[in-house]
């Protein structure tokens, strides 16, 4: 039921949201150094993550009113991480689309805001009234998980339908995993994400009628990180979030090698034609929908492998 509520809420309201954003002339800013094929996306309505977050929160409220669900604090913390990280992305999108600054927030400002919004979540999970060395180590590790997941998820959002299609199997995994291990509140939240993302994909697949923007990608990253921490599946993300890891590593390698080669030879060299790696495949000549669908298939395989690792069977 909650899946259908989220699905139809977003499916039916998105056309109005797209027209509203077009009326305000809030469209995607395309950087000149990006793939040439992306230039025709300039002006496509963006910040669809605002509606995505709104539908998720509204669906949760409806579920509370109808079924008295989400009585556990875990539900509220997932919604908190979704909303707070979504607002970090919104600030970035606002600077790019309204203030017309192509690069938005600086990386260090992203990190600072992510740390600030993560601390209440991590502190509440610590169940301690005072700091200990062990608690500090736990907080540091979980903070690393949040920063790694949220930023790598954000890097993955670069092709029409790519992130939404990858996130759907991941939230599907957390629905079944949480249901099996008696985390009903988390499974219900995962269902809401599944419904909302599936409806969003209807408008976001190539050629996209709207982009989620950093508002949506950071919200998704915050939610996935929160679910992983609450279900103690952080290490599973090495497989389940394998695509996110590959995208992030491709950027790290590209930047590191460029700086190293420029220092050694005076000319920066690249490992990939462009990073993140999905742009590398674009510049090799692969059609965008083909890249996206193949990434989806790879994610389905990673999700199945992760499920096998858990050892759960039905």
Got the DSSP string for 229-283?
Answer: HHTT-GGGHHHHTHHHHHHHHHHHHHHHHHHHHHHHHSS---SSSSSSHHHHHHH
pLDDT confidence band for 83 (50 / 70 / 90): very high
Does the pLDDT at position 181 exceed 90? no
Cβ atoms within 10 Å, residue 88: 26
Does the pLDDT at position 204 exceed 80? yes
φ/ψ of residue 180, rounded to 5: -70, -40
Dihedral sign (CA 292, 294, 249, 276): negative
φ/ψ of residue 218, rounded to 5: -70, -35
Does the pLDDT at position 72 exceed 70? no
pLDDT confidence band for 32 (50 / 70 / 90): low
pLDDT at 136: 85
pLDDT at 96: 85
Average pLDDT over residues 7-24: 95
User: By C-alpha distance, which of 267, 266, 269 is closest to 255?
Assistant: 269
Which pair of structure tokens corresponds to residue 213?
């923007």
Average pLDDT over residues 209-221: 96
pLDDT in tens, 91-108: 999 988 877 776 778 889
What percent of the chain is predicted at pLDDT more than 90? 67
Average pLDDT over residues 72-90: 91
Average pLDDT over residues 61-73: 69
Which pair of structure tokens corresponds to residue 119?
């601390």
Does the pLDDT at position 127 exceed 70? no
Domain boundaries, the chain: 2-234
Whether the link from the prior residue into 276 is cis, omega within 30° of 0, is yes
pLDDT in tens, 271-299: 999 999 999 999 999 999 999 999 999 99
More confident residue, 105 or 230: 230
Average pLDDT over residues 185-211: 94
pLDDT at 274: 92
pLDDT at 107: 85
User: By C-alpha distance, which of 52, 60, 58 is closest to 10?
Assistant: 52
CB 291 within 8 A of CB 156: no
pLDDT confidence band for 199 (50 / 70 / 90): very high
Three-state DSSP at 45 gives strand
Tell me which H or E stretch contains 153: helix 133-156
How far apart CA 173 and CA 167 sit, in angstroms, is 10
pLDDT at 167: 98
Quickly list DSSP for 83-119.
HHHHHHHHHHHHHHHTS--TT-S-HHHHHHHHHHHHH
Cβ atoms within 10 Å, residue 211: 26
Cβ atoms within 10 Å, residue 255: 14
CB 175 within 8 A of CB 194: yes
pLDDT at 130: 63
Between the CA of residue 128 and those of 37, 122, 212, what are the distances in Å?
52, 11, 37
What percent of the chain is predicted at pLDDT more than 70? 90
Average pLDDT over residues 209-226: 96
């Amino acid at each position: 039921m909650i899946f259908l509520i989220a699905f139809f809420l977003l499916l039916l309201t998105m056309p109005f949201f797209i027209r509203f954003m077009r009326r305000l002339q809030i469209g995607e800013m395309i950087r000149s150094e990006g793939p040439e094929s992306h230039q025709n996306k300039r002006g496509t309505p963006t910040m669809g993550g605002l509606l995505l977050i709104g539908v998720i929160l509204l669906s949760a409220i409806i579920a509370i009113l109808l079924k008295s669900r989400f009585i556990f604090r875990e539900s509220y913390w997932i919604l908190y991480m979704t909303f707070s990280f979504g607002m970090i992305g919104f600030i970035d999108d606002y600077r790019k689309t309204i203030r017309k600054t192509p690069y938005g927030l600086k990386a260090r400002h992203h990190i600072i805001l992510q740390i600030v919004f993560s601390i209440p979540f991590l502190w509440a999970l610590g169940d301690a009234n005072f700091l200990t060395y062990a608690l500090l180590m736990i907080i540091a590790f979980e903070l690393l998980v949040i920063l790694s997941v949220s930023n790598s998820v954000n890097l993955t959002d670069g092709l029409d339908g790519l992130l939404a299609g990858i996130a759907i199997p991941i939230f599907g995994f957390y629905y079944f995993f949480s249901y099996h291990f008696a985390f009903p509140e988390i499974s219900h939240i995962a269902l809401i994400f599944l419904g909302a993302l599936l409806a969003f994909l209807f408008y976001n697949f190539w050629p996209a009628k709207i982009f989620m923007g950093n508002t949506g990608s950071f919200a998704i990253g915050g939610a996935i990180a929160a679910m992983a921490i609450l279900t103690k599946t952080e290490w599973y993300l090495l497989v389940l979030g394998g695509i996110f890891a590959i995208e992030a590593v491709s950027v790290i390698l590209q930047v590191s090698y460029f700086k190293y080669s420029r220092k050694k030879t005076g000319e920066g060299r690249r490992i990939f034609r462009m990073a993140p790696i999905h742009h590398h495949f674009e510049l090799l000549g692969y059609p965008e929908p083909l890249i996206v669908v193949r990434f989806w298939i790879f994610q389905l395989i990673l999700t199945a492998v992760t499920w096998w690792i858990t050892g759960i069977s039905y």
